[in-house]
């Protein structure tokens, strides 16, 4: 979505002309869940003067009850009017940063924390960190009560089309809705698994791209429901088929252009690109907890379903963690393939940028590219090539994060402590739950 430089007066004028009756103030909690405070348009003056308060103690990982008052500071460049919910008048949206009562940025706000990490680019003269995301999702049918079922809406496969791809109309409506909101959609297609879809939109700077991901999820779920479907960004909703990823295409720019590109460098990549790549590889096991943040994420990160399992990189091979797509010039980028759409995008970009900057700061050198299928390599061959495994559970991923000060610093102590505590509770609950699989395997046998 192209940013619009709107003033307070511009927004007041639009509200009047478009008959906007409600304002939805959106932000994202530590678990990546979109939260919103909806107020009538009579509160517009209060909203635009940064005086809108909410109770932070009711939000996961924010603050205790005795410190509950928080302020919403709207980012005016995120203004948009939702094309639905017009029965009682239109609804305007603003994405907000969270501030403390004393006017300081709240350390537990993932969006504000990403801004803090982005400021670290200044020492290198970088002007923007760009992200092109590729989010995937599944469409399931709703039952007569409007609840999600496990019935897929089609039996299609990669790049299939109607009548096999019954989600085509829904996906087309999602694309039209996104375009009406200012998204530049680059591709829309059926993915490998039945019921699985992908819509790619144009890259943007990190903050705007993360805002776009959160808006995208909201639009996808809303439009799917209108088609009698439930859209889920759960990484692995069904056994035996591919899970959903959110590949992240990253590039760094300065005033002269894309700093990853060097016409005379090996593979036409610059020293900075290789150093950034080395940083991503070095910290991969630790940032996996953030990029793959739920128990279910690790059901996707297994061999045989196209998701990466090993810490390696390649120019063309799709089995490693990081791939370097063919495009060069302004489009030179690194593609991290492990991230899934359950990830909090603001926290994800904070740890990935800090990992890359650490590589640049310390002039790290990546290991040699692995241009063969890692899945068919033996354990000895992987060891010889210095290829590590990604963590196999959220429990192991949190342990790796706890041992990595650079990644903990990228989150800040407030977000790290609350995130890791929430994940420990999640893992404990999962570990104690007896699954249907266990009953099928053991109930009669033992």
CA dihedral sign of residues 376, 382, 385, 386: positive
Is residue 198 flagged as an active site residue? Answer: yes
Q: How far apart, in whole angstroms, are the C-alpha atoms of residue 446 and residue 444?
A: 6
Tokens coding 282:
């070095």
Q: Per-residue b/e over 355-364, b at no fewer than 16 CB within 10 Å?
A: bbbbbbeeeb
Is residue 337 flagged as an active site residue? Answer: yes
Longest dimension (CA), the chain: 72
CA dihedral sign of residues 403, 408, 409, 414: negative
Is residue 55 flagged as an active site residue? Answer: yes
Is residue 168 flagged as an active site residue? Answer: no
Is residue 318 flagged as an active site residue? Answer: yes
> What backbone torsions phi and psi does residue 397 show, to the nearest 5 degrees?
-65, -40
Spot the catalytic one: 171, 247, 283, 285.
Answer: 247
Tokens coding 53:
């308060």
Is residue 335 flagged as an active site residue? Answer: yes
Spot the catalytic one: 55, 67, 123, 438.
Answer: 55
Is residue 421 flagged as an active site residue? Answer: no
Cβ–Cβ < 8 Å for 75, 205: no
Q: How far apart, in whole angstroms, are the C-alpha atoms of residue 110 and residue 416?
A: 11
Spot the catalytic one: 29, 97, 109, 136.
Answer: 136
Spot the catalytic one: 283, 337, 340, 354.
Answer: 337
Spot the catalytic one: 29, 134, 208, 262.
Answer: 134
Spot the catalytic one: 85, 335, 409, 426.
Answer: 335
Is residue 123 flagged as an active site residue? Answer: no
Spot the catalytic one: 191, 208, 262, 358.
Answer: 191
Q: Please give the DSSP secondary-structure letter assigned to residue 144.
A: T
Is residue 85 flagged as an active site residue? Answer: no
H-helix or E-strand containing 186? strand 185-190
Cβ–Cβ < 8 Å for 200, 185: yes
* SS3 state at 138: strand
Spot the catalytic one: 198, 208, 340, 354.
Answer: 198
List, by residue number, the catalytic residues.
55, 134, 136, 191, 198, 247, 318, 335, 337
């Amino acid at each position: 979505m192209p940013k619009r430089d709107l003033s307070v007066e511009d927004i007041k004028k639009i509200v009047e002309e478009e008959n906007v009756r409600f304002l939805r103030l959106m932000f994202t909690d530590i678990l990546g869940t979109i939260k919103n405070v909806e107020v009538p348009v009579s509160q517009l003056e209060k909203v635009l003067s940064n005086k809108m308060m909410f109770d932070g103690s009711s939000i996961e990982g924010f603050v205790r009850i005795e410190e509950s008052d928080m302020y919403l500071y709207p980012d005016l460049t995120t203004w948009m009017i939702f094309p639905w919910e017009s029965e009682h008048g239109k609804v305007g949206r603003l994405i907000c940063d969270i501030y403390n009562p004393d006017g300081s940025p709240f350390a537990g706000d993932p969006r504000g924390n990403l801004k803090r990490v982005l400021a670290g680019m200044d020492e290198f003269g970088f002007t923007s960190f760009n992200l092109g995301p590729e989010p995937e999702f599944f469409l399931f049918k709703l039952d007569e009560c409007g609840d999600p079922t496990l019935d897929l809406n089609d039996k299609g496969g990669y790049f299939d089309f109607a009548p096999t791809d019954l989600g085509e109309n829904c996906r087309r409506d999602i694309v039209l809705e996104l375009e009406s909101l200012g998204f530049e959609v680059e591709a829309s297609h059926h993915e490998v698994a039945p019921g699985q879809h992908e819509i790619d939109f144009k890259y943007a700077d990190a903050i705007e791209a993360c805002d776009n991901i959160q808006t995208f999820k909201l639009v996808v779920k809303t439009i799917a429901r209108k088609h009698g479907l439930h859209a889920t960004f759960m990484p692995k909703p069904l056994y035996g088929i591919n899970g959903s990823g959110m590949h992240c295409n990253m590039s760094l720019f300065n005033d002269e252009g894309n700093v990853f590109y060097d016409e005379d460098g090996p593979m036409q990549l610059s020293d900075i690109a290789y150093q950034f790549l080395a940083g991503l590889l070095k910290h991969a096991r630790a940032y996996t907890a953030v990029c793959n943040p739920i128990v279910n994420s690790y059901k996707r990160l297994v061999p045989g379903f196209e998701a990466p399992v090993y810490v390696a990189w390649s120019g063309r091979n799709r089995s490693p963690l990081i791939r370097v797509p063919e495009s060069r010039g302004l489009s030179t980028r690194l593609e991290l393939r492990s991230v899934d759409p359950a990830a909090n995008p603001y926290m994800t970009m904070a740890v990935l940028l800090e990992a890359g900057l650490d590589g640049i700061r310390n002039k790290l050198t990546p290991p040699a590219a692995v241009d063969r299928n890692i899945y068919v390599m033996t354990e000895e061959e992987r060891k010889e090539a210095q290829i590590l495994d990604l963590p196999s559970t959220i429990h192991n991923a949190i342990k790796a994060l706890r041992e990595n000060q650079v990644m903990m610093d990228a989150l800040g102590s407030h977000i790290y402590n609350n995130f890791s505590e929430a994940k420990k509770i999640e893992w404990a609950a999962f570990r104690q739950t007896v699954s249907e699989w266990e009953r099928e395997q053991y109930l009669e046998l033992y």
